[in-house]
Amino acid sequence: MFTEPLLHPLRFCSNLCATLRTVALTLFDAPNETRAPTQTTNTADPIQGESSMTDICTKFLFRLTLQVGAHHVVGATPFGNRRVAPIAGGTFEGPELAGTVLPGGTDWITEDAAGAWFRINVQVPLRTHDGELLTMAYQGFRSGPPEVLAKVSRGEPVDADSYYYRVSGSFETASARLARLNTLVAVAKGWRTSVGPGYDVFEVL
């Protein structure tokens, strides 16, 4: 009758060992899915001496206004409704760059069938007031409600905030003074008037 009390310490030790073994397995041998993922933090700044870029900064270059002639309507091609607009002239005015738009530029326009967007591809020659020549090429989109874009195309006054008109471009010149323009990326916000489009052009810093 003294057998049962003598077995209690053995049973206690057995249960304790089993419990400790379970805890050890949980802490050190748990499957990967139950463990917190290991995270490594790279504190090195990829841009030495500068803070990481979270915004793109720009600087105003000039306001460009174009005078566009009658469109040459090519019609519906496999790539959309195509037309070509000759650029007769215009001006560009900015704090460091100003002059006139020379004849000879073109605006190659592709319109989707629903009239909800226009893809723009422009090349235009420019001459500064100092007589230096350069070319500007830019591409982008004009998009929005079809009824708004139809008014824009007819030259009717429309709030510029009622549709989207953005382009990006580049320059080319042989001028030593303007050489930095050859590797400059430009972006612009556009609008349309009865005589042609206008843009506020910015360089990306």
Whichever domain contains 108, its CATH number is 2.40.160.20
* CA count, 13 A, side-chain hemisphere, 197: 25
Other CB atoms within a 10 A radius of the CB of residue 22 amount to 10
- Could you tell me the pLDDT band of residue 3, with boundaries at 50, 70 and 90? very low
Q: Are residues 63 and 8 in the same domain?
A: no
Whether residue 50 lies inside any domain: the answer is: no
Domain co-membership, 105 together with 195: yes
Domain of residue 16 covers: 3-34
* In-domain check, residue 42: no
Q: Confirm whether 93 is domain-assigned.
A: yes
The per-residue pLDDT for 22 is 55
Query: Do 84 and 9 belong to one domain?
Result: no
- What does the pLDDT look like over 127-168, one tens digit per residue? 999 999 999 999 999 999 999 999 998 889 898 889 999 999
pLDDT for residue 54: 77
Q: What is the pLDDT of residues 6-60, one digit of tens each?
A: 445 445 445 545 555 554 444 445 444 444 444 444 545 555 555 556 788 999 9
Q: What percentage of the chain exceeds 90 in pLDDT?
A: 63
Same domain, 155 and 198: yes
Dihedral through CA 87, CA 93, CA 96, CA 99, nearest 10?
Answer: 50
Q: In the predicted model, what is the mean pLDDT of the chain?
A: 83
Per-residue pLDDT, 27: 44
> Hey, what are 161's tokens?
């905030």
Domain assignment of residue 41, yes or no: no
Number of domains present in the structure of the chain: 2
Q: What is the pLDDT of residue 160?
A: 85
Do 124 and 162 lie in one domain? The reply is yes
Q: For residues 81-92, give the mean pLDDT.
A: 96
Please report where in the chains the tokens 């003294």 appear, as a residue.
Answer: 2
Q: Please check whether residues 189 and 97 belong to one and the same domain.
A: yes
Query: Is the distance from CB of 27 to CB of 166 less than 8 angstroms?
Result: no
In a domain, 52, yes or no: no
